[in-house]
Amino acid sequence: MLAADTQSALLGVYKPAGPSFVAGEGCWLTGDDGRRYLDLTSGIAVNALGYGDPNVAAAIRGALDAGILHTSNLFRTAPAGELAAWLAAHSFADRVFFCNSGAEANEGAIKFARRWAGDRDEIIAFRGGFHGRTMGALALTDRPAYQEPFRPLMPGVHFAEVGDVDGVKALLQTGRVAAVIIEPIQAEGGVRLVAPGFLQALRALCTEHGALLMLDEVQTGLGRTGTLWAHEAAGITPDVMTLAKPLAGGLPMGAVLVTEAVAAALKPGDHGSTFGGGTLVASAALATCRKIGAEPFMAEVRRKSELLADLLGALALRRPGIRQVRGAGLMWGIEMDDAAGIVGRALEAGLLLCTAGPDVVRLLPPLVIGDDELRQGIAILEGAMEC
């Protein structure tokens, strides 16, 4: 085990639990205590391909062997261009901006919206939403406890209720709104699905009132919900979409995808990111996207999604303390009391879970998880509920 003083230099903004992990393979992590742990968190939806994926590893080795890990955006490199082309070809987008995280992607989206909108500078966000902890993204995040210590925040943000079409319409009618931002599933907000009809209504309202529709798919994008992008279920296309977590196979990377109309409003110098789209992360991301984007892979995700839904439905029937089970694809929330306690007891039993608020246990297994591993994970979870 690591000595306590080896962790003392880290800023105390996290509360890490359990062992220090020293190795990983597939859906399993090995701790410095010698135990193996089944991971149903994917590093909070990051490790979509699990640990040690050969395609991602080969891409990283190739970048290392080339000896160019970074050049900055003063110069061109092939991996970033190829990745941008792949994302554009597999989405609504015409142009792509690369950065380093989901929060940074949302910061970029805010700037792009304001640049595009001219003198309109307001943004509509939603109750229960989460868009990051940097200052602009925090202003869009409905978490008073997160916001209060850091006020004043970026002005011009209005919060609406998910499902309240009339409320959004009234805000848009002021003529001051540049953009509306929403997650197709409010992940950190309790794994709450936004109804397709509401997303369709937002698309129509944004078009009518000349505002951008921005979708935060930082956690839902790249196959997590059973389609490449979660908004596909609503049959809509946004003007801007932000990505991050699973994009580079475990390496830090974010992206902002935009239409040509948005891109045309931006000129050199309007935005930047020193490390954005670097050779190493772009190479890993291209391998990740190509693997997840293959239809046989996505078909397997959908099949396993049905199995997980059935397992959770049966669990809810056996456990009356479960108030609701909700989710899509391989992203689920179980609403019940003592979510943190259940997560802690599951850890002791060798299962990694996370919460989404005080009363939701969140499941985010790697997209490569096997059927038996899903069954094993749910069995351990049920055992943790019995204590």
Tell me, yes or no, whether 259 and 269 share the same domain: yes
pLDDT at 5 (0 to 100): 60
Together in a domain, 91 and 147: yes
d(CA 120, CA 131): 21
3-state class percentages of the chain: helix first, strand second, coil last, to nearest 5: 40, 20, 40
Are 184 and 289 found together in one domain?
Answer: yes
**Do residue 281 and residue 330 come from a single domain?**
no
Under 8 Å CB-to-CB from 118, ≥6 apart: which residues? none
Range 146-154 contact pairs with CB under 8 angstroms and sequence separation of 24 or more? 154/110
CATH of the domain at 150: 3.40.640.10
Q: Which structural domain range is residue 311 located in?
A: 4-53+295-385
What is the rounded distance in angstroms from the CA atom of residue 118 to the CA atom of residue 342? 49
Residues 308, 274 within the same domain: no
Split into its structural domains, the chain has a count of 2
- Largest CA-CA distance found in the chain, in angstroms, rounded: 60
Question: Domain boundary residue among 263, 293, 323?
Answer: 293
Pair (215, 332) in one structural domain: no
- Region of residue 128 (phi > 0: left; psi between -120 and 50: alpha; otherwise: beta): left
Domain C-terminal end among 293, 310, 342: 293
pLDDT for the residue 10 = 87
For residue 338, the domain's CATH number is: 3.90.1150.10
Residues 185 and 225 in one domain: yes
Alpha helices in 90-134 (DSSP H): 102-117
311 and 271 in a common domain: no
Looking at the fold, whether 189 and 274 belong to one and the same domain comes out as yes
Same domain, 85 and 228: yes
pTM of the model: 0.96
Q: Which helix (H) or strand (E) holds 173?
A: none
Are residues 309 and 196 part of one domain? Answer: no
Contacts of range 162-170, beta carbons closer than 8 Å, 24 or more positions apart:
162/126, 162/127, 162/128, 162/186, 162/192, 162/194, 162/198, 163/195, 163/198, 165/198, 165/201, 165/205, 168/124, 168/201, 168/202, 168/205, 169/205
Residue 213: what residue type?
A: L
What is the number of helices (H) and of strands (E) in the chain?
13, 17
Low-confidence residues in the chain, pLDDT < 70: 1-6, 387
The confidence score (pLDDT) of residue 1 equals 44
Domain final residue pick, 247, 270, 293: 293
Are 31 and 83 within one domain? Answer: no
